Amino acid sequence: MSDSLVSVGDDGVLVAAGVAGTPDDAQVLRWYPALDHDLADPADRAVTPGDGRVAQVARTHALLLSQPWWSWGAETGANEHGVVVVRTPAAVKARVRGGDALGSRDLVRLALERGADRREAAEHLVTLLEEHGQGGDGRGEAGTAYVVADREGATVVETAGRAHATAEVDGTRALSGGLTIPDFAAAHADRRAERRLLVTQRRTRGEAYLATLGEGADGAGADPVGRLTTALRDHGPKSRGLGPHYRRRAGAVGGACMHAGGLLSSTQTVSAWVSDLRGPAGLHWATGTSTPCTSVFVPLRVDDPAPLDPVDPPLGQEYDGRYLWWRHERLHRLALRDPERALPVVTQVRDRLEADWRAAPPTTDEALALGDAWRDDLVDHLTVMTEMQLGDTRPVRVAAQWRRWNRDAGLGA
């Protein structure tokens, strides 16, 4: 259950995505160089996913990817030609096929490696889907809606198993766990699952934000990237104040910014991404961290790699302060104990930082350093506040779940 927003206007293309996962589904931002492959060499004829079942191509493009700790593929990403691909799981009636099926995240990366524009990337995605099927990454996803975009426009590719349909985006589109191409949805959508996942409510929230992209705040002029980051921080219609509203079965899943804490499912937003394709060189904004309401969006460029995290030891499901995602968990898990008091402290400096960065984007290195300093100061400040006045205002069962997740991750109290 994730969310994607896309806008195609006279001034260019914007894409945003919030990625869902479990409380320990750590993410990493990675750059990969363009590579030439010797297809006559048996060792260079096949691609990593699927144990060599996917044939390699002569050249793969340079990439910037947001990846789960366990996946070769990606949740979202961009390549050197300004192509962006984001994925949103969709509730469909098709069953997951194992065997030689590819994971939907693998299809994201493969499309970006091979496509020099959105049409070529979408064509590669569909060809690989037809050949291998979908759902082989063990995550139980037979249906996915992909947004494939470049500076000229955006294409939606919706899938159910090997079946698929494509549509060009004319204006805006919001995807929130369901199919949106009418005839394809009529044949393949799982309406009962859509109701359970609040698909219509979430899509309506996203459409409302997209409808206001051209409007300035308080007469200050339009800031569509800022508006999209606000959309990704939305907690839904039942939230009170700044904090999320927890449902007994599913947790806080009413908006794009989700928080774990349900009896039947514990889904939360584990990373967020906005691509601004309005200029000649695409600029991307990503958190690389969970829960956008507690995160800062950092400017990233495909052609300007920055050292983010170590490659070895590999990222995992336990706290490791060498990784950005886990460093942020100290702040996230502290702030969400009492969001009504903590989140105003989080947003006070963060919003000013982001507004300055959008006006004059710094290098990624500079933004990461400032983000870490901001995060460390907040952890210290909120720790003092906790000792003096902050309690745990979440429902008792939610607080108990988080104590267990903190213990499992090695984060203690």
- Per the domain annotation, does 375 fall within a domain? no
Identify which of 144, 165, 404 has the alpha carbon closest to the alpha carbon of residue 266.
404
Q: Of 124 and 51, which is predicted with more confidence? A: 124
Coil, strand or helix at 76: strand
Q: What integer is the mean pLDDT of 97-123?
A: 90
Q: What integer is the mean pLDDT of 389-401?
A: 88
DSSP 198: T
- Per the domain annotation, does 203 fall within a domain? yes
- Per the domain annotation, does 384 fall within a domain? no
- Per the domain annotation, does 398 fall within a domain? no
pTM, two decimals, is 0.93
- Name the domain count of the chain: 1
The pLDDT assigned to 264 comes to 81
Q: What does the DSSP assignment read for 292-318?
A: GGG--PEEE-TTS----S-SSSPP-SS
- Per the domain annotation, does 40 fall within a domain? yes
CATH number at residue 144: 3.60.60.10
- Per the domain annotation, does 97 fall within a domain? yes
Spatial distance between the Cα atoms of 222 and 229, rounded to a whole number of angstroms:
13
| Residue 51 binned pLDDT confidence (cut-offs 50, 70, 90) | low
Q: What integer is the mean pLDDT of 137-152?
A: 85
Spatial distance between the Cα atoms of 178 and 90, rounded to a whole number of angstroms:
5
Coil, strand or helix at 238: coil
Q: What integer is the mean pLDDT of 210-218?
A: 71
Q: What does the DSSP assignment read for 3-53?
A: EEEEEEETTEEEEEEEEEE-TT--EEEEEE--EE--TTSGGGSB-TTTTTT
- Please determine, for residue 330, whether its predicted confidence score (pLDDT) is greater than 70: yes
- Per the domain annotation, does 380 fall within a domain? no
Q: Domain range spanning residue 33?
A: 3-314
Identify which of 185, 155, 147, 211 has the alpha carbon closest to the alpha carbon of residue 17.
147
The pLDDT assigned to 24 comes to 94
Q: What is the pLDDT of residues 344-379, one digit of tens each?
A: 999 999 999 999 999 999 999 999 999 999 999 999
- Per the domain annotation, does 394 fall within a domain? no
The pLDDT assigned to 220 comes to 42
